[in-house]
Amino acid sequence: MKSLVLSSVVAAIVVFSGCSSKEAMVDKSAANQGTTKEVKSVASETVTKDNAIVTSEDNSIKVLTKSDIEAKLLSVYFAFDKYSIPVDGSVNVSTDVTTIKSDANGFGIKLEGNCDEWGSDEYNFALGLKRATSVKKALVAEGIAASRISVISYGESNPVCSDKTQDCWAKNRRVDFSLIK
C-alpha cells in the first residue's frame, strides 16, 4: 500500500514539472494594429415611478351610484297653472329616457310633482300630481314600462327656492326624478 502511494506522488511530480515550463501563447497581431473602437452604448430608458403607473381611467369600468344617476336626470318645468309638458320640457324628457334606459336600468322611477306657492295647497297637490302623470305618460310613450314608474305630489311644500320672484316660482313648477330600488 505504501509503495502504491509513493509511486503515484512521484508520477504527479514528473507530470506537473514538465508543464510549468510552458509559456502562454498570445496573439500579438491585434496589439500591433492600434486601440479597440468603443461602440455606442445601448440606448436605455429609465422607467420612473410616474411613467410606470397605468391609469385606472383607461382600464377600469366606473360604477355610477344612485346619486350619480339621479343627478343626471333632468327636472321638467311647467308653465303657470298648467300640467302639459312645454317644448323645452320635452327635450329634457328625451334626455331622461336615454338615462333611464341605460344607467338607471335596474331602478324604479319615482316622479315627484311640485308647484309654486300660488293657489291653495290642496289644488296645488293635485296640479303637481297631474304634472307628474304627464311626465309618466311621456316616458311610457318612449318605451319605459309603466310598472317601473310611480307618481307622487308634494304641492308647494317642496320648494327649491323661496324668493318672491318669477324666476323662483318658475323653478318650483317642476317634476323631479328619483330612483327606487
> Which parts of this chain interact with other proteins (CB under 8 A)?
80-81, 110, 118-123, 125-127, 129-130, 132-133, 150-155, 157-160, 166, 169, 180
68 vs 81, beta carbon nearer other proteins: 81
How far apart are CB 86 and other proteins at their closest, in Å? 15
- State the minimum distance, in angstroms, from the CB of residue 158 to other proteins: 5
Q: How far is the CB of 62 from other proteins (least distance, A)?
A: 29
Using the minimum distance from each CB to other proteins, give the nearer residue, 76 or 151.
Answer: 151
Phi and psi at residue 67, to the nearest 5°: -65, -40
Helix (H) or strand (E) holding 93: helix 87-101
Q: Which long-range contacts (CB under 8 A, 24 or more apart) does 63-72 make?
A: 64/103, 66/107, 66/179, 66/181, 68/103, 69/99, 69/103, 69/104, 69/107, 69/179, 70/177, 70/178, 70/179, 72/99, 72/103
Q: Could you tell me the smallest distance in angstroms from the CB atom of residue 128 to other proteins? A: 8
Nearer to other proteins, 51 or 162 (CB): 162
Residue 97 or 126 having the CB closest to other proteins: 126
Amino acid at residue number 86 = P
